[in-house]
Structure 1
């Protein structure tokens, strides 16, 4: 049973630390900015691949420091993502983040993670997160492709219209919910 609690966080209001600037670090960075173009990210790594340098060149909310990780990097951070193939460093960071009450994701090490970066389907303002509880990223990817094909491009227009309707409705919450449910019933039939 998947007991993960799905949430969507406002990364532009949080401070993120990314440890590692290799191919996996690039993948994590791209996932962050695809979903939160104004994410605040500090990257700490001894080595940086040219693709990461190019990717962050026009992002003013990303800062890079070429050096080893140190515990002081955790100060003021809300989330930490580790893209390192150094298992002792990964374990060390796990211990530190736990003692600082900071959420951690370690690439390809589910046993060290507090959260996962799932597959995301996005059409305008609609965003759907997909998790297989770490069991099969391939299935999550296939479901993402399926939903992307299934959802109409016009879904964002529908969302805007529903928001306008929601704002215009008067009465108690039960009545509003009933009216909104009636209007959205045809979306899934």
Structure 2
């Protein structure tokens, strides 16, 4: 059973450290920026691949530092992503993060992870996260593709209309929830 707790984080209000500037580092940075273009990210690496540098240059909140990881790099960050091919470095970073109450993700090493990066489906303001508990990123990707095709193109219009309706509802919380449940049920009844 997947016991992970899904959350959506305001990445522009916290700071993220990525250790590693190669393909995996670029993949992690790309995933963050695709979902949160205003994310505050520092990438530390002895060397950088050109794709990561090309990506970073278009985002003013992304900083690249060309040198090896130093424990002091952890101090100003809330989340750490390890994306090198140095397992021993990842173990050390995980230990240091634990001492500092930082959460860490280590690419392709679930036992060292406090969290996983899932696949994400986005249709306007609707965002759906998919997790396989670290077991199969490939299945998560396929599920993302399926849901992207399945969700209607009018999703944003529906959300905007429902927000307008919600803002006009009267009554206590339970009554508002009941009214919104009835309205959204009607939307899905029409789809059948």
Q: TM-score range by the shorter chain?
A: over 0.9
Show structure 1 runs of 5+ residues with no match.
none
1:1-189 mapped onto 2 (5 Å cutoff): 1-189=1-189
Deviation >2 Å, runs of 4+: 186-189
Partners of 1:171 and 1:182 in 2: CA distance: 15
RMSD over aligned CA atoms reads 0.8
Distance 1:148 1:104 in 2: 29
1:141-166 per-residue CA deviation (whole Å, 9 max, x = no partner) reads 11111100000111011001101111
List runs of 5+ in structure 2 lacking aligned partners.
none
Deviation by residue 1:14-49 (Cα, 9 ceiling, x = unmatched): 000000010000000000000000000011000101
Equivalents in 2 of 1:50, 1:141: separation in Å? 25
- What is the count of residue pairs matched by the alignment? 189
The TM-score with structure 2 as length reference comes to: 0.97
For normalisation by structure 1, the TM-score amounts to 0.98
